[in-house]
Amino acid sequence: MIVRQESLTAKMTLKDLATNSPLPTANLVLVFGSVKRFGESKLTSTLKERYPTAQIIGCSTSGEITASGVFDDSLQITAILWEKTIQRVTHTKMTGMQDSFETAAGLARQLKSETLKAVLVYSDGLNVNGSELLEGFKSVLGEIPVMGGMAGDGFNFSKTVQIFNDTVSDGLVIAVGLYGDNLVATTGVGRGWKPYGPPRKVTKSEKNVVIELDGKPALPLYNLYIGAHSAKDLPGSGLKFPFAIIEEGKRDIEKIRTLLAIDVKNNSLTFAGNVDEGETVRFCQATHDRLVEGAGHAAHLVADNTNVNQNGLAICVSCVGRKGVMAELVADEVKLVQQVLGNQTAITGFYSYGEFAPRPDTNDSVLHNQTMTIGYLSENLLA
């Protein structure tokens, strides 16, 4: 596996790229940047000229992750040349959020194979139900790890776009199947959020809309916990107060859910992923240091389960909510990931509206929110 990277800051244009492509024989290119950068007229033709044999995929972000830190309105290009791994790339355009499950199942059927080892998925961030999308992939692929995330649009939540070769559009779901015994694919998930207050039972919900907690309207109870000052700034302030879904019979966090919208008329809360009736939830809060420690935990999970002393690529997908909490210090979580994985590991990624990765110590791929996820890729050429 050979990895080469190119980077343009917010003030640089496509003309500022080096004259020669760093890896013209690449077969996969990942591109992350702002919605504005993806609107540049010569983007697709420039990328195709530099990487003529590659499948070019990526999405808009709420911030771009690099080994040098976190940037806004930059363009991050990562070219990969597989030496022995086989890839298959497919995509589709969503017809509606309600079709998320079947959309994913259809893509999964195109990728399914006995030699399939991992799947990269990048989707629209606003027109997709991420929970249903992951369930669709799992319905066909079982416990093949799915890693990636949902596109971002800063803190605007207005429009996200994806790139697939010469197409830049919203509503896309892109999937890359990676095949063969030479592939090394490991994931790590870290949070850093601390639950507080008593556990609450979800007594009424419809997919990602929570209507009642403990038989009481959800919104007034949520407002009570976060306080009047934060409540007046909802839904934006909700990024700092996500839900923790607690594992059945335990106190451990199974996954985090980010608040996206409120409905004052129905006293309901809309989250970035499903919150099922009968699940136990707790309110969450975090500090900068806890979130950084969570990212470090994700990196240690990768390092503990694979040999990171060889050349590899860490695709970091973290949540826009974490970026909101850490503000100008957000690069601290990326710095710790690089420190744990070492300089021989190239880093790319983005801040997202939802993260795809297996739950810790499992192959059960789910939608995460408010989480640092790491998809680590390398090749063992001796396998």
- 17-38 burial string, b = 16+ CB within 10 Å, else e? beeebbbeebbbbbbbbbbebb
Average pLDDT over residues 153-170: 94
CB 245 within 8 A of CB 253: yes
CB neighbour class for 155 (10 Å; exposed up to 12, middle 13-18, buried from 19): middle
Average pLDDT over residues 3-24: 96
pLDDT classification of 47: cutoffs 50, 70, 90 = very high
Cα separation of 300 and 298, whole Å?
A: 5
What pLDDT is attached to residue 382?
A: 81
What pLDDT is attached to residue 157?
A: 85
CB-CB neighbours of 349 under 10 Å: 30
- As given in the structure block, the two tokens for residue 222 are 């949520």
Q: Which of 275, 293, 44, 260 is nearest to 152 (CA)?
A: 260
Residue-by-residue DSSP string for 357-381: EEPTTS--EEEESS-EEEEEEEE-T
- As given in the structure block, the two tokens for residue 169 are 């559009």
Give domain limits for the chain.
Answer: 2-190+289-379, 194-285
Q: Which of 276, 309, 317, 312 is nearest to 120 (CA)?
A: 317
- As given in the structure block, the two tokens for residue 272 are 């970035």
Average pLDDT over residues 330-350: 96
Cα separation of 149 and 116, whole Å?
A: 20
Which residues, in sequence order, are CB contacts of 202 under 8 Å at separation 6+? 210, 212, 213, 275, 276, 277, 278, 279, 280, 281
pLDDT classification of 361: cutoffs 50, 70, 90 = confident
Residue 249 pLDDT greater than 70, yes or no: no
Residue 250 pLDDT greater than 80, yes or no: no
What pLDDT is attached to residue 271?
A: 87
pLDDT classification of 107: cutoffs 50, 70, 90 = very high
Residue 264 to residues 201, 210, 211, 231, 276: CA-CA distances in angstroms? 21, 12, 11, 12, 21
Mean residue pLDDT across the chain:
93
Residue linked to tokens 């900068």: 288
Residue 260 pLDDT greater than 90, yes or no: no
Average pLDDT over residues 144-153: 96
pLDDT, tens digit, 9 for 90 and up, residues 175-190: 999 999 999 999 999 9
What pLDDT is attached to residue 155?
A: 87
Average pLDDT over residues 298-325: 93
What pLDDT is attached to residue 362?
A: 85
pLDDT classification of 252: cutoffs 50, 70, 90 = confident
Residue 298 pLDDT greater than 90, yes or no: yes
Cis ω before 235 (30° cut-off from 0): yes
pLDDT, tens digit, 9 for 90 and up, residues 190-246: 999 988 888 999 999 998 899 999 999 999 999 998 899 999 988 888 888 898 998
Q: What is the DSSP letter of 247?
A: P
What pLDDT is attached to residue 265?
A: 94
Average pLDDT over residues 74-93: 97
pLDDT, tens digit, 9 for 90 and up, residues 120-129: 999 999 889 9
Cα separation of 154 and 326, whole Å?
A: 14
What pLDDT is attached to residue 95?
A: 85
Average pLDDT over residues 317-323: 93
What is the side-by-side order of every strand in the sheet holding 162-164? 2-8, 75-81, 28-33, 55-60, 162-164, 167-169
Residue 248 pLDDT greater than 80, yes or no: no
Q: What is the DSSP letter of 97?
A: G
pLDDT classification of 251: cutoffs 50, 70, 90 = low
**Helix, strand, coil % over all residues of the chain, rounded to 5:** 25, 40, 35
Residue 383 pLDDT greater than 80, yes or no: no
Residue 48 pLDDT greater than 70, yes or no: yes
In the 3-class helix/strand/coil scheme, how is 257-298 assigned residue by residue? ECEEEEECCCCEEEECCCCCCCCEEEEEECCHHHHHHHHHHH
Cα separation of 365 and 139, whole Å?
A: 11
Percent of the chain at pLDDT > 90 equals 79
Residue-by-residue DSSP string for 157-187: -S---EEETTEEESSEEEEEEEESTTEEEEE
